[in-house]
Amino acid sequence: KPASDSFCDHRLKVWSAPVDDPGHFTCHGTVFRTKDDRDYKSDVDWSDKELYAPDVVEKDGKYYLYAYIVDSKGCVAVADKPEGPFKLLSMYEYHVEEKLCDNGWFIDPGVLVDDDGKVYIYCGFTRSYMAQINEKNMYEIIDETFREHILPQRPPEDASGFFEACSPRKIGDTYYLIYSPNIGSRLAYATSKSPFGPFTYQGYIVDNA
């Protein structure tokens, strides 16, 4: 019997596979949790809701986990290895209005460490957001860097519109934002010449419709 029958769980596990043999995965076990279990205490003390759609980036030899906790303020954790385990670093910290990035939840965070060491977070559910993170601590949102609608809002029937699941990249001097669009089991992408956007829709990269 599976440990969870929900889409996501209170426990985050890590799997890895060799680049030249991606069919053979190794499970590294639970690396972060938002609820006490039989053997371990929760890694957070302000919520016992499930974890959704995390992201991990490397900076200066450390690995930083950005997690969305359902209906709760999200958090950042840190580890010495990509497979963890991760230790809580902080909630997101900011000094602007409380509604920043969906009430401070930072839904489905995707994080980019740029070539110059600056760090950016992209997130949202039906509305797209981004902000710059203080690269010295990796959890503080820098004042006045918050942007909303980095992808223009579209009506629900517009298949190019943003739904959720930000995943940023940079190739050359172009910034790519991969996301789940309004319609279908698809991944769309948009591009910009600036990490702050706005991003221009370019099409699908995966279409399972």
DSSP string, 34-95: SS--SS---S-SS--PPEEEEEEEEETTEEEEEEEETTS--EEEEESSTT---EEEEE-B-S
- CA distance to 69, 88, 107, per residue, from 35 (Å): 11, 13, 19
Report pLDDT digits (tens) over 35-67: 998 889 999 999 999 999 999 999 999 999 999
Report pLDDT digits (tens) over 3-20: 667 778 899 999 999 999
Sequence-ordered list of residues with C-beta below 8 angstroms from that of 12, at least 6 positions apart, any chain:
30, 31, 32, 33, 51, 54, 65, 67, 86
- CA distance to 17, 51, 102, 112, per residue, from 206 (Å): 22, 25, 27, 21
pTM of the predicted model, to two decimals? 0.92
Mean pLDDT over each residue of the chain, to the nearest integer: 91
